[in-house]
Structure 1
Amino acid sequence: MIRRLAAATALALASTLALAADALAGTVQKQPLNVAAIAMFVGFVCLTLAITYWASKRNRSAADYYAAGGRITGFQNGLAIAGDYMSAASFLGISALVFSSGYDGLIYSIGFLVGWPIILFLIAERLRNLGKYTFADVASYRLKQTEIRTLSACGSLVVVAFYLIAQMVGAGKLIQLLFGLDYTVAIVLVGILMCLYVLFGGMLATTWVQIIKAVLLLAGATFMALMVMKSVNFDFNTLFAEAIKVHPKGEAIMSPGGLVNDPISAFSLGLALMFGTAGLPHILMRFFTVSDAKQARKSVLYATGFIGYFYILTFIIGFGAILLVSTNPAFKDATGALLGGNNMAAVHLANAVGGSVFLGFISAVAFATILAVVAGLTLAGASAVSHDLYASVIKKGKAAEKDEIRVSKVTTVALGVVAIVLGILFEKQNIAFMVGLAFSIAASCNFPVLLLSMYWKRLTTRGAMVGGWMGLVTAVVLMVLGPTIWVQILGHEKPIYPYEYPALFSMIVAFAGIWFFSITDNSTAAEGERALFYPQFVRSQTGLGASGAVSH
């Protein structure tokens, strides 16, 4: 049961895992071409490519390429963050969880949402004030550049790699199911499009692709929810009562807690999703696209509103699918099973309330969400290599802007090729653990170093390095030794680490390591780093946000 909970919740918040789960069982089959979906998809691609061309004419500097020149408003950035967060699986996965389990879907969608603004309100303002292009600018502002940027870049690249695999596999399965294209063709198509967005449009194009996708997804979900409520005369009591009548679980769908039987794994996953969000490089990059800390705070406020509204809609859509899809034989195969599995409940509901045209719209929007997310991930990975490793570590801050951008574009192409290859290689593999691992690494490596660099005076380079690497390695090792990889993939009889996700333990290791190796560091360099703690540093150094970090 906990595996079902873990997969569903991880998908709902960050990935296309719900779709990939179908791939694991080999249940995804090519369907006849949906002409409306193809037409709308082509229209979306043409529109976004036009935006990319427009953005390319405005990318005149590294600031334009990495951070859209800081010209994005708080409202626009909040919508773009919501676009990053509302993935295809967030739409399909949460509604599928409600469709199959009822009330639990609301608990897990809203429950994990609650942690998002709490964490980002802690870091948004200082992140914008102290950073330039990546969160490593902040983590290294009073610590040694080479060591901290190397750690941050490695943590970012590992997170991006695992995240990209899940997105690519999900994209391939979604196209295979809805558009009838071959899986390999679908993977190559996604890889090419994401490279085009990032290569030529940079952050400006990526931002507007995310904004457009968010608007389309919110509009489509709103229409579906309204049609569901119209069918029950806008009465929630009727909606729930009718759902209870037709659902196999009956009244149990209105009772919470039915999916949990391993509290440690559930708690560990919750920590990973809650704190890992504040360590995801493609989310943190968004705060450098606004002009100041005030706009960064507005971004969080707007994003929280959009995301919260979206999750309420998916709750209604899930119950609507119980009423209008589960009882309709047109959406079932010869055995009575739902076509495409529970993950396609929202797609079938779109067909039920809006016909083939609206089905095509929802199908195209679901795929568009993947394009937007992979573009953001690719840009985050490319900036980690070009800005953190090349410009700051290899060139010691002396790289020309044109050289830095060129390295970023070469990295983008390399990431595109790697994503395509890995997406094809992992088609038949269990990639469920990758999203949990990505969040666990972000929560165990990126987040502790970033948070303590802002709020703890006694942090030193030695503490950040040792603790950060301990958290990263612990997260990876425990995941490998856990049930998913050790038993399901490697074929051993019993796992060495008995729980699904490692964040509960790897975060403790990371924070404890950072604390211990910082307080025992009495070197002259450590005392100098403590003297540059944020409040004193900001008062004595003006213009830091524009220049990045302290030199060592």
Structure 2
Amino acid sequence: MNNTAPLYLAQEAPEATAGNPILNIAVFIVFLVVTMAVVLRAGKSTKEASDFYTGGGSFSGRQNGLAISGDYLSAASFLGIVGAVALTGYDGFLYSVGFFVAWLVALMLVAEPLRNVGRFTMADVLSFRLRQKPVRVAAAIATLFVSLFYLVAQMAGAGSLVSVLLDIHDFFWQAVVVGVVGVLMIVYVLVGGMKGTTYVQMIKAVLLVTGVVIMCLLVFVHLKGGFNALFDTAVDMHATSDYIQTKGYEATQIMEPGLKYGKNLTTKIDFISLGIALVLGVGGLPHVLMRFYTVPTATEARRSVTWAIVIIGSFYLMTLILGFGAAALVGPDRILAAPGGANAAAPLLALELGGSVFMAVISAVAFATVLAVVAGLAITASASIAHDVYHSVIRNGESTEAEQVRVSQITVVILGIVAIILGILAMTQNVAFLVSLAFAIAASANLPTILYSLYWRRFNTAGAVASMYTGVISCLVLIFFSPAVSGTETSMFPNADWALFPLSSPGIVSIPLAFLVGWIVPLVTKPDNLEELSAEMEVRSLTGVGVEAPVDH
């Protein structure tokens, strides 16, 4: 997703003002103090591993539904999609469609069976009727890479957001901002665990959805009309845009397919690849699936799903209004001239709608969104290392809960440092696109093994391990050799070019390959001979009976 203009366009574009930087940072500090107070209070009751990982399974369906929404509605959903729609119209809205449809697919196929079989992590499910050690190690590696790419997207989004608020154009200070976000994430997780993170996510979900509703209403007030006025004004603004004219597009293309995808065979295939990754990715996202372990019963899990569907669906419909609102009231040139490029569309729209104070509040909510999501991701990755690798593999199930929590905390620190470094490199990328890469890894590495484990009795350990490693390795290799990393102005390494793979999204290759390997290997290798566990897993997945009892084999 191109989200920065060539230099000559940025020089000619109108200056993107950031309101009052002092006011912006003051509002930020207030939000940070409030959320940190919530985390500190929740952290006092985080005493056991179950508290740290899943909040002790103590949340109601409504609370968990809000937290799921808070986990799922990330910086990519707010900053990235609004920017994508503002610049590419119809094609940008495809992210909203993909993210929402993906949620429904995950609910129908994966969510409740996973919740009924698992205890702390996704690997609990994958290793239930398979050999624990190889499956847990593979699942932990897949979880780490999915979480890392998702974290990078949030870091890049936070860097763009704060750079706009403080009007920072210098790369060094933008990198400092990303570093500060990483440190805050580490503190949130170490202090509050899953309980503190869940409460922050609930607060963030309410504030974010409320803020988006207010912004949508203000868009129509400013335009003094409904959807016709919104779309007509967006088309008119694109007609006078240097961005559109220099690219050789027609202004009306913002309302039609093809502004980003569909111009040639490569972009058409890239769109299909993106769609596959978005629709199938959520079913393999460990940090979203882990949310179903924070409620006490299957009934509460279903209730939380209902709340989440309403909130998430409404939000993604409103991103269309915000995206076209940014195109109409801010314009592509001003968006591209701002620090962060396309990721600046939402805060600049807030500035246009309500002035500096409103921009500061909306941006602070978006920043809380980033912190909540990265904290949830960090907990998921750290739980996978501590519970699946350290406890189950290295210590053979004999470590204490205190040891597991300590390993989790060390993992959070290391993961935070790596995410900061990669987030700095990825600041020129649209965060919605970066998240799509995490979705591609999740769909390639995790989803085939999850589905085969739940629904195919012939599936075995060799198939699971082969499928997961195939998905992870193929996806990472294709991403490394894609235009997202090198070969274009918005690549992580814009001055180098080793883009041998023409597509930005690898899903069209890596996902079918992982499914294929996961199907072939069990057919040509010996079964695990764990028929009793297979039957028990089927009963648990359908009924939830015995969910509290861990299985060791």
What is residue 505 of structure 1 aligned with on the other side? 509
Distance (Å, rounded) in 2 between the aligned partners of 1:453 and 1:24: 51
What secondary structure is seen at the aligned counterpart in 2 of 1:545?
A: coil
What secondary structure is seen at the aligned counterpart in 2 of 1:247?
A: helix
Q: Would the alpha carbon gap of residues 131 and 265 (structure 1) be closer, same or farther in structure 2, given more than 3 Å must change?
A: same
Provide the identity percentage: 43
Shift of 1:94: 1.9
Shift of 1:456: 0.9
Distance (Å, rounded) in 1 between the aligned partners of 2:293 and 2:190: 19
Q: Is the 8 A contact 2:86 2:326 kept in 1?
A: yes
Distance (Å, rounded) in 2 between the aligned partners of 1:420 and 1:108: 25
Question: What letter corresponds to residue 452 of structure 1 in structure 2?
Answer: Y
What is residue 462 of structure 2 aligned with on the other side? 462
Shift of 1:491: 7.1
Structure 2 runs not aligned, ≥5 long: 240-249
Q: Is the 8 A contact 2:483 2:499 kept in 1?
A: yes
What secondary structure is seen at the aligned counterpart in 1 of 2:45?
A: coil
Moved more, 406-415 or 351-360: 406-415
Distance (Å, rounded) in 1 between the aligned partners of 2:368 and 2:512: 37
* RMSD, matched Cα: 3.2
Distance (Å, rounded) in 2 between the aligned partners of 1:337 and 1:385: 41
Distance (Å, rounded) in 1 between the aligned partners of 2:499 and 2:455: 38
> 1:135-284 maps to which residues of 2 (within 5 A)?
135-180=122-167, 182-233=173-224, 235-248=226-239, 249-261=250-262, 262-284=267-289
Shift of 1:50: 0.8
What is residue 399 of structure 1 aligned with on the other side? 399
Distance (Å, rounded) in 1 between the aligned partners of 2:7 and 2:205: 29
Distance (Å, rounded) in 1 between the aligned partners of 2:55 and 2:337: 47
Distance (Å, rounded) in 1 between the aligned partners of 2:235 and 2:430: 34
Q: Is the 8 A contact 1:125 1:294 kept in 2?
A: no
What is residue 326 of structure 2 aligned with on the other side? 321
Q: Is the 8 A contact 1:30 1:179 kept in 2?
A: no
Q: Is the 8 A contact 1:159 1:442 kept in 2?
A: yes
Distance (Å, rounded) in 1 between the aligned partners of 2:9 and 2:403: 45
Shift of 1:275: 1.2
Q: Would the alpha carbon gap of residues 78 and 271 (structure 1) be closer, same or farther in structure 2, given more than 3 Å must change?
A: same
Distance (Å, rounded) in 1 between the aligned partners of 2:421 and 2:498: 31
Q: Is the 8 A contact 1:74 1:296 kept in 2?
A: yes
What secondary structure is seen at the aligned counterpart in 2 of 1:527?
A: coil
| Structure 1 position 538 matched with structure 2 position 540 | yes
Distance (Å, rounded) in 2 between the aligned partners of 1:429 and 1:99: 15
Shift of 1:320: 2.4
Distance (Å, rounded) in 2 between the aligned partners of 1:372 and 1:413: 16
Q: Is the 8 A contact 1:55 1:201 kept in 2?
A: yes
Distance (Å, rounded) in 2 between the aligned partners of 1:521 and 1:326: 58
Distance (Å, rounded) in 1 between the aligned partners of 2:190 and 2:71: 19
Q: Would the alpha carbon gap of residues 546 and 308 (structure 1) be closer, same or farther in structure 2, given more than 3 Å must change?
A: same
Question: What letter corresponds to residue 208 of structure 1 in structure 2?
Answer: Y
What secondary structure is seen at the aligned counterpart in 1 of 2:219?
A: helix
* Aligned with residue 548 of structure 1, among 547, 550, 553: 550
Distance (Å, rounded) in 1 between the aligned partners of 2:319 and 2:145: 30
Distance (Å, rounded) in 1 between the aligned partners of 2:251 and 2:9: 30
* Aligned with residue 304 of structure 2, among 299, 308, 320: 299
Could you list the per-position Cα deviations for residues 420-477 of structure 1 after superposition, in whole angstroms to 9, with x for gaps in the alignment? 3444566689999854442222111111111211111111011111122122211122
What secondary structure is seen at the aligned counterpart in 2 of 1:366?
A: helix
Q: Would the alpha carbon gap of residues 326 and 176 (structure 1) be closer, same or farther in structure 2, given more than 3 Å must change?
A: closer
> 1:71-150 maps to which residues of 2 (within 5 A)?
71-150=58-137
TM-score computed with the length of structure 2 as normaliser: 0.86
Structure 1 runs not aligned, ≥5 long: 5-17
Moved more, 154-163 or 244-253: 244-253
What is residue 10 of structure 1 aligned with on the other side? none
Q: Is the 8 A contact 1:385 1:411 kept in 2?
A: yes
Distance (Å, rounded) in 2 between the aligned partners of 1:264 and 1:145: 38
Question: What letter corresponds to residue 515 of structure 2 in structure 1?
Answer: F
Distance (Å, rounded) in 1 between the aligned partners of 2:6 and 2:368: 20
Distance (Å, rounded) in 1 between the aligned partners of 2:415 and 2:518: 31
